[in-house]
C-alpha cells in the first residue's frame, strides 16, 4: 500500500572495493617512477609525506610538468606551488666527489611533517652530507649544511 503524499526512494547499492576505480594521487604517480628509502635510485627525487623518496629520472620541473600537463608550461613558480600544495620536499643527490663526500640537498618551501624530518635525519646518519635550502622561493631561501642547522632554520621560518 502506498500513500499519496509519500516520496519514492531509490535504493543505491555500494559497489565492491575491487570494482571501484582507483584514484591515483600525486604520490602514487611518483612512486611508479621510482622509490627508495635513501634517495639512491635517482639524482632528482621528492621526499613524500610518508618519509620515502619517490619519483626520479628527470629534473624536478619536468617530473611535475608530466604529472600536471605534459604539453603545458613549467617553471619555478609552478614547481613551488605544486610542492606546497602536496607537501613534498625537493631532494637532489650529487655524485660522490674526489674527497669521498656523498652530498644530498633538500629544498623545503612549506611545512614538513615528522616523517619527512626523520628521513632527512637518517640520511645524515647514513654518512651523507645534508645541505638544505629553506624558503618560499630560491631568492630568499636560507641555505646551510647539517641536520641540527636545518632544524634551527625550520623553526625560524615556522616550517616545523
Q: Which long-range CB contacts under 8 A does 48-55 form with residues at least 24 apart?
A: 48/88, 48/116, 49/86, 49/87, 49/88, 49/113, 49/115, 49/116, 50/115, 51/115, 51/116, 51/118, 51/119, 52/119, 53/91, 53/119, 54/27, 54/30, 55/30, 55/31
Global confidence as pTM: 0.80
Within a domain: 16: no
Which pLDDT band holds residue 110 (cuts at 50, 70, 90)? Answer: very high
Cβ atoms within 10 Å of 128's Cβ, excluding its own: 19
Within a domain: 10: no
Within a domain: 98: yes
Within a domain: 14: no
Within a domain: 83: yes
* pLDDT above 90 as % of the chain: 49
Q: Containing domain of residue 61, as a range?
A: 26-156
Q: Give how many domains the chain has, as a whole number.
A: 1
Residue 133, strand partner residues: 107, 143
Within a domain: 115: yes
Which pLDDT band holds residue 15 (cuts at 50, 70, 90)? Answer: low
How confident is the model over 97-104, as a mean pLDDT? 85
Within a domain: 136: yes
Within a domain: 4: no
How confident is the model over 4-31, as a mean pLDDT? 67
Amino acid at each position: 500500500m502506498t500513500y499519496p503524499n509519500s516520496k519514492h526512494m531509490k535504493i543505491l547499492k555500494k559497489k565492491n572495493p575491487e570494482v571501484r576505480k582507483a584514484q591515483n594521487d600525486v604520490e602514487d604517480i611518483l612512486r611508479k617512477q621510482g622509490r627508495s628509502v635513501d634517495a639512491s635510485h635517482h639524482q632528482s627525487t621528492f621526499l613524500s609525506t610518508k618519509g620515502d623518496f619517490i619519483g626520479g629520472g628527470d629534473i624536478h620541473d619536468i617530473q611535475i610538468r608530466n604529472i600536471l600537463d605534459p604539453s603545458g608550461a613549467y617553471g619555478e613558480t609552478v614547481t613551488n606551488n605544486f610542492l606546497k600544495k602536496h607537501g613534498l620536499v625537493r631532494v637532489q643527490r650529487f655524485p660522490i666527489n674526489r674527497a669521498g663526500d656523498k652530498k644530498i640537498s633538500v629544498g623545503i618551501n612549506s611545512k614538513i611533517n615528522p616523517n619527512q624530518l626523520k628521513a632527512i635525519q637518517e640520511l645524515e646518519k647514513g654518512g651523507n652530507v645534508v645541505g638544505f635550502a629553506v624558503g618560499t622561493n630560491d631568492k630568499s631561501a636560507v641555505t646551510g649544511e647539517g641536520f641540527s642547522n636545518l632544524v634551527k632554520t625550520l623553526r625560524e621560518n615556522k616550517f616545523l
